[in-house]
Amino acid sequence: MNHADFWVVMFLAVGLKLPLIGLFYVIWKAAKLGDQAHAEQGSTPVSRMALCGYCGARITIGYDAGRVHQRAAGIAARTGQAAFDVETRLVREELALPDRYPVEPTRCPGCGEHTVWAPIEALPDSAAIALEPLRPDLN
């Protein structure tokens, strides 16, 4: 093996593998950042309310998965049933309530028009405290 062959082998062994190592590092870093973003969003879906853009009818979209899972685990522990079966029944029961939908419907149940749903967000604590003297006594 002469001197030129040695450098050709070194180039093929090291030089062509560096881009592969860099590519694997980038893929690993992207997967790690994606996992962090997913963890920050919260993995359990939560029900949310929305208003019809035309008539103002209120619906609830989805269900609170964390609460349903806790209820199902409690019921399953007491009764000895499978937690999955109990949770399935609880989800079906919750979505069977009036104005509850798993996804946003295209037509409003109130006015029947094709609609756009405006999400209703909870008030921040500072706004709720500021409105407290104006609310009627509900007790």
| pLDDT tens digit sequence for 40-59 | 665 556 788 899 888 888 89
Categorize the per-residue pLDDT at 95 as very low, low, confident or very high, splitting at 50, 70 and 90: confident
Report if residue 106 sits inside a domain: yes
The answer to whether position 139 is within a domain reads no
CB 82, CB 25: distance < 8 Å: no
Question: In the predicted model, is pLDDT for residue 123 greater than 90?
Answer: no
pTM of the predicted model as reported, rounded to 2 decimal places: 0.52
pLDDT at 121: 78
Whether residue 34 is contained in a domain is answered as no
Take residue 119 and report the two structure tokens written for it: 């999400």
- Residue 8 maps to a domain: no
Domain count, the chain: 1
* Inside any domain, residue 11: no
Which pLDDT score is estimated for 26? 94
Question: Domain residues for 58?
Answer: 48-120
- Domain assignment present for 29: no
Q: Which two tokens stand for residue 83?
A: 């937690």
3-state secondary structure (DSSP) of residue 63: coil
Helix (H) or strand (E) holding 112: none
3-state secondary structure at position 135:
coil
